Structures are given as C-alpha cells and as structure tokens.
Amino acid sequence: MTQTSSPAQRQIGLFIIGDEILSGRRQDRHFAKVVELLSARGLQLSWAQFIGDDREKLVDAYRRSLASDDIVFSCGGIGATPDDHTRQAVAAALGVETVLHPEAADLIGQRMAESAAQGKGSADMTTPENRQRLRMGEFPQGAEIVPNPYNKIPGFFIHDHTFVPGFPVMAWPMIEWTLDHRYADLHHKAPHVEHSFLVYELAESTITPVMEALETRWPAIKAFSLPSMGGAGRNHIELGVKGEPEQAAVALEFLKDEARRLGGTFGAA
C-alpha cells in the first residue's frame, strides 16, 4: 500500500545497480535525472548508493532499506541474465519467493506477439527463448507491476520500493509514472528553496561559526559552503541556505551581513 506521510518525515533514496557503472564501462545518468524529476515535484533525494552485481550485497542493502520508511527507486539488474540479481535479492530480503506475475506474463506475451508481427522472433511463449523472457516477469511475491511504455516489459513495486531497468529510456518514464500515480499527494507539500551568493576574501574557517549559529537559530534551514580553489578566477566560496522559504530569506540576509562584517566581498552566484 502506498504511504501518504509528509516528505518532511520520510526520505527518498536511490540505488543504481551494475558492475558496468563501477568499472567505468558505462557512465551513470540516473542520479542527475532522478534529482531533476523529484525537484520538479517539490521533492528531494536524501541518499543514493551504487552497488555492483553482487547478490549478497544487494540483499543486505535492500534488507536495510525495506526495513525503513523510505521511498526508494532502484535502477538496474531486473533482467533475466546471470548477472541480474535484483529481483531475487529483493525476494530474499523480504523472505518470500519470486513468482511469475500474471499481468507481467501477459505484457511480455504482448511484446513478443508485436515483435513476431514485425518478423522478429516467435509469439509462441512455450519456446525456450520466450520461456527465458518470461523470467523477467518473476517478481517477489506480493509485488505490483510498474508499466514500461517503451517495450511493455514491466518493472515492479513493493513496500514503497520501485524497481526499473537500467536503460534510461525505460527507467525514467517508469519513475515518473510512479511519482505521479503513487505519490502525487506528496508533491509540493514541503515548500523548499535554495539561495546562494559568492563571497571573496573570506576563509571557510572564519564563516563556519556563523553557519553553525544560523542553523541553531533557524532549525528548518541548512547552511552550505562550496569553496572554489584555483582556476582562472579568484578563490571564492559559494555560501547559501536551503529549506523553508520564509526562514531561508531571513537566514540568507543574516549570512550575508555576517560575511560582510567578517571582511568578505561579494559577487553573483
């Protein structure tokens, strides 16, 4: 069942699965896109983790996340080749079996019928190749499907965890569908802004006590510091605040005033 708690009380996490990412054979594109999709809906990513194709490590990671109240997206490893472990790892983490989901089986059959009509493969789902394809519809018992608009082969959803393929062309619309169909009531429920400015001639160690005082004074706000070292321009720090809009506006002015008082000079961020 979909949870309806405030996103201020729950975290949103992301798993990115695959040896090919860790080895550098492929570059991850999911992290930035998921941040973008969440931001468009007034939501934020709280954590992300990269994991290789290791069944034990996947089981441990999913066991921890499934025991939490987090909303989690997992990209990759849901195919049916020997290096795909996600479906089985989730089942093991939950202590259930994988079973062929009837709706997934129907969708996979539809996909193969379409391919056969184009002269590719067979629509007969009893052939060894198609029986192998049906394994992509074996999900942990109790899972629901996540529709795949690209080729109909679905992902799955269970306990606020959404599992999608590693291919961006499939994964991203499936994540969007989940956000809009399962979590629409969470969109834009926690107003959040981020403001920053550039300050020169100021050491991070000098401004740090001010940032600590700011977070004590405005608990709904986080202060951040992003120093820039070397390069063509002058060394500077991007200072900023993020959080509840009204408090953020006041906290930003406090941070600017203190940076100026401590000898900083300003530029646009």
pLDDT of residue 232: 56
Burial 84-104 (b: 16+ CB within 10 A, else e): bbbbbbbbbbbeeebeebeeb
Containing domain of residue 150, as a range?
A: 12-186
- 116 pLDDT band, cuts 50/70/90, is very high
Show which of 144, 163, 186 is a domain's final residue.
186
- 231 pLDDT band, cuts 50/70/90, is low
53 pairs with which residues across the strands? Answer: none
In 3D, which of 213, 215, 184, 205 has the Cα closest to residue 262? 205
Containing 103, the helix (H) or strand (E) segment is helix 102-117
Show which of 123, 158, 186 is a domain's final residue.
186
Rounded CA separation 53/57 (Å): 8
- Say whether both 203 and 223 belong to one domain: yes
* 40 located within any domain: yes
| Least-confidence region, from 68-77, 152-161, 226-235, 258-267 | 226-235
- 1 pLDDT band, cuts 50/70/90, is very low
DSSP state of 170: H
- Say whether both 64 and 136 belong to one domain: yes
- Say whether both 44 and 172 belong to one domain: yes
Q: What is the CATH number of the domain that holds 106?
A: 3.40.980.10
Q: Higher confidence at residue 44 or residue 267?
A: 44
Sorted by sequence, the CB contacts under 8 Å of residue 110 that are 6+ apart come out as 152
Rounded CA separation 218/221 (Å): 6
Question: pTM for this structure?
Answer: 0.84
Establish how many alpha carbons lie within 13 A of residue 19's alpha carbon, considering only the half-sphere containing its beta carbon.
Answer: 7
Question: Number of structural domains, the chain?
Answer: 2
pLDDT in tens, 104-114: 999 999 999 99
Would you say 58 and 86 are in contact if contact means Cβ atoms under 8 Å apart?
yes
C-alpha angle 208-46-74 in degrees, rounded to nearest 5: 150
